[in-house]
Amino acid sequence: LKLYRKRHPTLPCNVLKFKSTTIMLDCGLDMTSTLNFLPLPLVQSPRLSNLPGWSLKDGNAFLDKELKECSGHVFVDSVPEFCLPETELIDLSTVDVILISNYHCMMALPYITEHTGFMGTVYATEPTVQIGRLLMEELVNFIERVPKAQSASLWKNKDIQRRCYTMQEVNSLVGYSQKIELFGAVQVTPLSSGYALGSSNWIIQSHYEKVSYVSGSSLLTTHPQPMDQASLKNSDVLILTGLTQIPTANPDSMVGEFCSNLALTVRNGGNVLVPCYPSGVIYDLLECLYQYIDSAGLSSIPFYFISPVANSSLEFSQIFAEWLCHNKQTKVYLPEPPFPHAELIQTNKLKHYPSIHGDFSNDFRQPCVVFTGHPSLRFGDVVHFMELWGKSSLNTVIFTEPDFSYLEALAPYQPLAMKCIYCPIDTRLNFIQVSKLLKEVQPLHVVCPEQYTQPPPAQSHRMDLMVDCQPPAMSYRRAEVLALPFKRRYEKIEIMPELADSLVPMEIKPGISLATVSAVLHTKDNKHVLQPPPRPAQPTGGKKRKRASDDIPDCKVLKPLLSGSIPVDQFVQTLEKHGFSDIKVEDTAKGHIVLLQEAETLIQIEEDSTHIICDDDEVLRVRLRDLVLKFLQKF
Amino acid sequence: MDPECARLLPALCAVLADPRQPVADDTCLEKLLDWFKAVTEAGSSLLLLQEHPCLVELLFHVLKPQDLSSRILSFALRLAGIFAAQENCFQFLQQGELLPGLFGEPGPLGAAAWAAPSVRSGWIQGLHSLAQHPSALRFLADSGAVDTIFSLQGDPSLFVASAAGQLLVRVLDLALRGPAEGRVCPQAWDWPACARKVVCHLEDCLRSEATPRVTQALHVLTTTFGHCRGLWTQGLWARLSPLVARLLEKDPVPAPHALVDLLLGVARSPVLSSDPGLWETAAQALSRLSPTQAGPLAAGILKLQDCPQALRIQAFSILLQPLAHVLEATAQAPGTPRLLEGAAGDLMAVDTFPPSRSACVGLLCSALAHLELLQPLVGVARPASALAAGPAAGTDAPSPPQPQRPSPWPQAPLLAAVVTILRFCNGSAAPSSEAGGRLCAMLVGCVRVQRAALDFLGVLSQGLGPQELVTQVFAILLEYLVSPDSSPTVLKKAFQATLRWLLSSATPPGCCDLEPYAQLVLGELLAVLQKRLCSPCWEVRDSGLEFLTQMTRHWGGQGSFRQALLGSEVPELTRQLLQDPESYVRASAVAAVGQLSSWGLLTAPSSPEHPAVPQKTPLEELLLVLTTDSEGFPRRAVMRVFTEWLRDGYADVAEDPEQSVAPVLRAASRDLDWEVRVQGLELALVFLEQLLGPRGPSTAAPPGALTQALQALCRVQLFEFAFRSLFDCDRPVAQKSCDLLLFLKAKATPSGSQQEVGDGPNVASVEAALRRWQAGEQGQPLGELAPEAVLAVLRSMDLEALRDTLAESSDHVERSPQSLLQDMLATVGVLGDNEADCY
State the pLDDT confidence band at B558, using cuts at 50, 70 and 90.
confident
- What pLDDT shows up at residue A344? 93
Task: DSSP for B506-541, please give it.
Answer: SSSTT--PPPHHHHHHHHHHHHHHHHHTT-SSHHHH
Residue B76: per-residue pLDDT? 92
A288 touches chain B (CB under 8 A): yes
Coil, helix or strand at residue B602: coil
Percent of chain B with pLDDT over 90: 42
What pLDDT is recorded for position B693? 79
Lowest mean pLDDT, pick from A321-325, A338-342, B610-614: B610-614
- Determine the pLDDT at residue A347: 92
Q: How far apart are CA A537 and CA A548, in angstroms?
A: 9
Checking phi first, is residue A269 left (phi over 0); if not, alpha (psi -120 to 50) or beta? left
| CB atoms closer than 10 angstroms to residue A288 | 19
pLDDT at A244: 93
**Structure confidence at residue B384 (pLDDT):** 37
For residue A552, pLDDT over 60 is answered with no
Those residues with Cβ within 8 angstroms of residue A502's Cβ, 6 or more apart along the chain or in another chain: A532
Per-residue confidence (pLDDT) for residue B753, from 0 to 100: 47
Report CB contact under 8 Å: A295, B532.
no
pLDDT, mean over chain A: 86
Residue with the bigger pLDDT between A545 and B359: it is: B359
A14-27 pLDDT, tens per residue? 999 988 899 999 98
Average pLDDT over residues B101-130: 87
- State pLDDT tens for residues A30-45: 888 899 999 998 888 8
Q: Do B537 and A267 touch (CB under 8 A)?
A: no
Instruction: Tell me which architecture the domain covering A251-422 has in CATH.
Output: 3-Layer(aba) Sandwich (3.40)
- B525 touches B497 (CB < 8 A): no
Query: Is B691's pLDDT higher than 70?
Result: yes
pLDDT of residue A124: 92
| B431 to chain A: closest CA residue | A461
- In this prediction, residue A184 carries a pLDDT of 84
Question: Would you say A14 and A5 are in contact if contact means Cβ atoms under 8 Å apart?
Answer: yes
Mean pLDDT, rounded, for B674-691: 92
- B786 HSE (CA, 13 A, CB side): 8
Share of chain B above pLDDT 70, in %: 84
pLDDT score of B836: 43
pLDDT over 50 at A327, yes or no: yes
Cβ contact B108:B153 at 8 Å: no
- Segment among A130-134, A415-419, A420-424, B754-758 with least mean pLDDT: B754-758
**Which chain A residues are closer than 8 Å to B436 by Cβ?**
461
Where residue B771 falls among pLDDT bands split at 50, 70, 90? confident
Flag whether pLDDT at A442 surpasses 60: yes
Chain B neighbors of A253, CB-CB under 8 A: 483-485
Q: What is the model's pLDDT at position A61?
A: 65
Chain A interface includes B512 (CB < 8 A):
no
More confidently predicted of B769 and B180: B769
Return the biggest CA–CA distance within chain B: 99
Higher pLDDT, A630 or B421: B421
What pLDDT sits at residue A272? 97
For CA atoms A573, A576, A582, A586, give the dihedral sign. negative
3-state class (DSSP) for residue A8: coil
Residues of B with Cβ-Cβ distance to A288 under 8 angstroms: 536
pLDDT for B400 equals: 55
Which residues does chain B have within 8 Å of residue A248's beta carbon, measured at their own beta carbons? 427
d(CA B244, CA B237): 9
Residues B327, B418: Cα–Cα separation, whole Å? 9
pLDDT of A574 above 70:
yes
The answer, yes or no, to whether residue B18 has pLDDT greater than 90, is no
Distance from CA of B26 to the nearest CA of A (A): 46
Q: Which residues fall within 8 angstroms of residue A125, CB to CB, at 6 or more apart?
A: A173, A174, A175, A176, A190, A198, A199, A200, A323
What pTM value is reported for the model? 0.81
Contact (Cβ atoms closer than 8 angstroms) between residue A257 and residue A285: no
Residue from A219, A220, A216, A218 nearest A242 by CA:
A216
Look at residue B541 in the predicted model and tell me its pLDDT: 95
- Residue pair B502/B514 in contact by the 8 Å Cβ criterion: yes
Neighbours of B253 (CB within 10 A): 18
Q: Does A269 touch chain B (CB under 8 A)?
A: yes
Averaged pLDDT for residues A285-297: 87
Q: d(Cα A193, Cα A307) in Å, to the nearest integer?
A: 27
> Are the CB atoms for A76 and A36 separated by under 8 Å?
yes
ipTM of the complex: 0.75
Confidence of residue A349 (pLDDT cuts 50, 70, 90): very high
Which strand (E) or helix (H) includes residue A238?
strand A237-241
Q: Tell me the C-alpha distance between A329 and A335, whole Å.
A: 10
Task: Kindly state whether A459 is in contact with chain B, defined as any CB-CB distance less than 8 angstroms.
Answer: yes
Instruction: Write down the pLDDT at residue A273.
Output: 97
| Residues B484, A294: C-beta atoms closer than 8 Å | no
CA distance B541 to B529: 9
Express each pLDDT in B470-522 by its tens digit.
999 999 999 999 999 999 999 999 999 999 998 887 665 555 566 777 778 88
Least confident of A242-256, A351-365, B11-25: B11-25
Give me the mean pLDDT over the B275-280 stretch: 87
Contact A448, A240 (CB under 8 A): yes
Residue A588: per-residue pLDDT: 87
pLDDT at position A256 is 92
Reduced 3-state DSSP string for A354-394: CCCCCHHHHHCCCCCEEEECCCCCCCCCHHHHHHHHCCCCC
Is B756's pLDDT higher than 70? no
pLDDT at B212: 92
> Is the peptide bond between A190 and the residue preceding it cis, with omega within 30 degrees of 0?
no
Q: Which residue has the higher pLDDT, A453 or A552?
A: A453
> For the structural domain made of A2-38+75-243+430-476, what CATH number should be given?
3.60.15.10
Window A:461-520, CB contacts with B under 8 Å: 461-464
Reported residue count of chain A is 635
Is residue A297 less than 8 Å (CB to CB) from chain B? yes
- Whether the pLDDT of residue B710 is over 60: the answer is yes
Listed in order, strand segments (DSSP E) in B588-717 are none
* Pick from B561-575, B735-749, B824-838: least confident: B824-838
Number of Cβ atoms within 10 Å of the Cβ of A607: 8
Spatial distance between the Cα atoms of B548 and B593, rounded to a whole number of angstroms: 10
Please state the rounded mean pLDDT for residues A162-177.
62
pLDDT above 80: residue B335: no
For residue B18, with 0-12 CB atoms within 10 Å meaning exposed, 13-18 middle and 19 or more buried, which class applies? middle
| Statement: residue B376 has pLDDT above 50 | yes
Mean pLDDT, range B342-368, rounded to an integer: 73
Q: Which of residues 608-647 of B touch A (CB under 8 A)?
A: 608
Q: What is the pLDDT of residue A189?
A: 95
Q: How many angstroms from the chain centroid is the CA of residue B143?
A: 43
* B482 near A CB under 8 A: no
- Closest in A259, A288, A464 to B441, CB measured: A464
CB burial readout B501-512, b (16+ within 10 A) else e: bbbbbbeeeeee
Report which residue type is found at B229. R
**pLDDT tens profile A114-163:** 777 888 889 999 999 889 989 988 998 898 888 665 566 655 544 444 55
Confidence of residue B311 (pLDDT cuts 50, 70, 90): very high
Map out the domains of chain A as residue ranges: 2-38+75-243+430-476, 251-422, 562-634
Integer Cα distance of B337 and B331 in angstroms? 9
pLDDT band at B387 (very low <50, low <70, confident <90, very high): very low
B427, B572, B576 ranked by CB distance to A462: nearest: B427
What is the Cα–Cα distance from B488 to B479, expressed in whole angstroms? 14
pLDDT digits (tens, 9 = 90+) for B89-102: 999 988 878 888 88
Please count the residue pairs, one from chain A and one from chain B, whose beta carbons lie less than 8 angstroms apart: 69
Mean pLDDT of chain B: 83
d(CA B296, CA B370): 8
Q: Is A294 on the interface with B (CB under 8 A)?
A: yes
Q: What is the distance between the terminal CA atoms of chain A, rounded to a whole angstrom?
A: 37
Give the residue with greater pLDDT, A329 vs B805.
A329
Nearest to A80 by CA among A378, A472, A316, A281: A378
Residues B525, B478: Cα–Cα separation, whole Å: 7
pLDDT of residue B720: 83
Q: What is the pLDDT of residue B408?
A: 82
Is A263 in contact with B534 (Cβ distance < 8 A)?
A: yes
- At residue B829, the pLDDT reads 67
pLDDT at B273: 79
Q: Which of A403, A394, A419 is nearest to A246 (CA)?
A: A403
pLDDT in tens, B28-51: 899 999 999 999 998 899 999 999
pLDDT digits (tens, 9 = 90+) for A370-412: 999 899 999 999 999 999 999 999 999 999 999 999 999 999 9
pLDDT at position B223, please? 93
What is the per-residue pLDDT for A538? 63
Assess if CATH 3.30.310 describes domain A562-634. Answer: yes
* Distance, C-alpha A41 to centroid of its chain: 35
What secondary structure letter does DSSP report for A57? Answer: T
Per-residue pLDDT at A553 exceeds 60? no
